[in-house]
Amino acid sequence: MSTLADEVIIVTGASRGLGRSMVERFSEEGARVVLTARDEALMEEVASGLPGESLVVPADVRDADAVANVVEETVDAFGRIDTLVNNAGVSILGMQDSRKFLQDVTEEEWDTVLEVNLKGVFLFTHEVLPHMYERERGNVINISSGLGRAAVGGAGPYVSSKWGLEGLTRVTAMEGEKFDVNANALDPGGMVNTDIWAHLPEEERQQILQPDVMDDAAVLLAAQGPDGVSGESMDAVGWEERLG
């Protein structure tokens, strides 16, 4: 039997990069995958190549009504939610191909990064937890970054969002403990060849981590039962060593 046979997994930021790779791997492992992002056409393209059942529900993670709709359509289609992967994320570097020091960051740029990377995670977690609590099982996987535990100049909004995400992950784990719901943070462990680094020369992009870097760890985390590890944050290699 496949590792994730019949599991229902929502993945945000599912249209490209790390999200797309996890979606494809989850499907290969037998999961029924719900893809959500803003680009419906791109998600439909991804879904058309999946071996198992899937559902495409477009949404901006910053829109509470749209998020609630994703969760509602998931439950209507598949009856439950086993795992939520909060993967959607942006950075000023990804949007503008350059870092920005705090005095140059606009309010709009700050709000965009914090709302996608942190508010979006809250909104999806807020909608999904009641369904997981009712069944007394589930996994929340928050995609973090090494910059959720460290800092670098020129990345203030992103660093702030990921430090916030690390704290939110721990709170989610603490509150979920009595309902047997696990919450953990997973990060790639380095630079990944995604849109954030699109400005790099192709040769350099091939030398950094590739989008499938977290797939094995994500499967291990999604496969955890009620007695699983919770409230931890590690990179992909760390999780593979912990759970593999």
Q: What is the DSSP-derived secondary structure letter of residue 13? A: S
CB contact at 8 A, 31 and 85: no
Block residue for tokens 């291990």: 220
Map tokens 């400005």 to a residue: 199
Q: Is 133 a catalytic residue?
A: no
**How far apart (Å, rounded) are the C-alpha atoms in residues 73 and 81?**
11
Whole-angstrom Cα distance, residue 212 to residue 96? 24
Rounded distance between C-alpha atoms, residue 216 and residue 25, angstroms? 8
Query: Three-state DSSP class for 193?
Result: coil
* Annotated catalytic residue, options 78, 122, 124, 158: 158
Q: Is the separation of the CB atoms in 186 and 141 below 8 Å?
A: yes
Residue 12 tokens read as 């945000």
Contact (Cβ atoms closer than 8 angstroms) between residue 23 and residue 43 = no
Which residues have a catalytic role annotated? 158
